[in-house]
Chains A and B, each alone.
Chain A
């Protein structure tokens, strides 16, 4: 059963067809990958799994994923022209079919390089009606749906760091909706993912980066 909660879930979204999962959801996945990279992507490989690989062509999934990487939204009528626009903006991508194992049939892996040389791997699925989930950023398992402002912090596992991060949020009157902490092993690399009710502005993010042992802090706006 789909938890459709309001009238605009049933009439909407306004989107470019033909499929909410294979087109609209794919645009959102590309958009999330771009936001996670945190800069303009210049190069990348898009690995298509399952139904994305099998029926993606007819649904324009390849075009939609690319459009998302270019920062387009699901209702952008330039989605079919994404390859041309990518060329103009200096983004080159390859597509490959891949078997990612027992994941959702509509799953994609992005391997992206940004204009300042940043690199990220993002795995996500389109799970129906345009809803998406990002499962993996680099080697870390996450669960990001893009419904809330999301704070992602890559850091060294250190006692008290979680408290410092949440204190900064509290001081900025930002309420936490959900939080997940994971690490490679004790004292090694760790990841915090927090969904919040309020937007995380750049000033707060800058303060986060001054905390000890923070390697990367990014704020992802809801899509």
Chain B
């Protein structure tokens, strides 16, 4: 089975970014040129940007009526200079809510790695883009780093809520975003691994308990908190903080916890918040 650490060693030996190793791997795997892969990734980035913009407007509501308009609230407060946590954190929160709301409202998004967790990665990367001078090429490369880690997560554990709970969806998204943010901010390949490990460790055990089985409550807001965990993990890794447990072992642990997690807490809407008094009432009202 592949290990993220192998890519880290290869990148550091060659003096490359982690994304360059992944890009090379994928050019061989898909038998496509670098330019072709960049074009496909550009299409993803374009939709990510559009979904952030559409969500920040805040006009749309989901089919159940439970979701919509919260990204705009956070963005407005941020624009007034009133944010408690500052420009970067509030920006990431608003953007993550924006994309997750667009998803719930049947708008167009990029699954990253899933539709339910689609807000975390665009929020974190576009926030880093706002904060730092980064080129479009570096942004695309960071997406390859995120996707490469995602491949390892899918191979060694799972990125499906039905298989591994929310830790496998928003947890994976947070780890992918943390690694990508570190690379984009100039961190080393091994720092991307530390950031991913710290983010994933912070999400271990999180259950998938959607009210009424819908990708709305608590999914949308967990995209926002997932983005803040990714940024906190990136901040630590960029400062030289190391993860005591290596990334591949953390991923294996996530997979193991997913297996141990009862079915009621894996996207079946039979446990957790889905069966809280209010959760049940919402389900009865809507469905």
* Per-residue B-contact encoding for A52-78, CB less than 8 Å = 1, 0 else: 001101111001000000000001010
**Which B residues, 122 to 163, have Cβ-Cβ distances below 8 Å to chain A?**
143-144, 146-148, 150-151, 154-155, 157-160, 162-163
Instruction: State whether B213 touches A55 (Cβ < 8 A).
Output: yes
Chain A residues, CB < 8 A from B6:
none
Instruction: State whether A17 touches B109 (Cβ < 8 A).
Output: yes
* Per-residue B-contact encoding for A145-166, CB less than 8 Å = 1, 0 else: 0000000000000000000000
Most chain A CB within 10 A, of B37, B143, B154, B157, is at: B154
Our pick among B111, B144, B159 for the contact of A15 (Cβ within 8 Å) is: B111
A7 touching B147 in the complex, CB below 8 Å, given contacts A14-B44, A17-B109, A18-B62: yes
Whether B116 sits at the interface, judged by CB under 8 Å, is yes
**Which A residues, 1 to 16, have Cβ-Cβ distances below 8 Å to chain B?**
1-16
Size band of the B side of the interface? 35 or more
* Per-residue B-contact encoding for A8-31, CB less than 8 Å = 1, 0 else: 111111111111100110000000
Chain B residues, CB < 8 A from A13:
110-111
Chain B residues, CB < 8 A from A80:
106
Instruction: State whether B114 touches A20 (Cβ < 8 A).
Output: yes
Instruction: State whether A55 touches B146 (Cβ < 8 A).
Output: no
Q: A20 to B219: give the CA distance in the assembly, Å.
A: 14
Stretch touching chain A among B22-30, B82-90, B231-239: B22-30
Q: A17 to B116: give the CA distance in the assembly, Å.
A: 8
Chain A residues, CB < 8 A from B107:
16-17, 77
Chain A residues, CB < 8 A from B106:
16-18, 23, 60, 63, 79-80
Chain A proximity of B212: nearest CB distance (Å): 6
Chain A proximity of B177: nearest CB distance (Å): 11
Chain B residues, CB < 8 A from A8:
40, 44, 147
Our pick among B62, B105, B151, B287 for the contact of A55 (Cβ within 8 Å) is: B287
Q: A4 to B43: give the CA distance in the assembly, Å.
A: 20
Q: A24 to B116: give the CA distance in the assembly, Å.
A: 12
Q: A3 to B41: give the CA distance in the assembly, Å.
A: 20
Chain B proximity of A83: nearest CB distance (Å): 13
Q: A128 to B109: give the CA distance in the assembly, Å.
A: 17
Chain A residues, CB < 8 A from B162:
128
A58 touching B102 in the complex, CB below 8 Å, given contacts A1-B155, A2-B160, A14-B108: no
The 30 listed contacts between A and B (C-beta, < 8 Å) are: A2-B154, A3-B154, A4-B154, A5-B29, A7-B144, A8-B40, A9-B154, A10-B113, A10-B159, A10-B176, A11-B111, A11-B113, A12-B110, A13-B110, A14-B108, A15-B108, A17-B105, A17-B107, A17-B109, A17-B115, A17-B118, A18-B214, A54-B213, A57-B286, A58-B63, A59-B215, A60-B106, A77-B108, A129-B114, A129-B160
With A6-B30, A10-B112, A51-B213 given, name 4 new contacts (CB 8 A). A13-B110, A17-B107, A58-B214, A129-B160
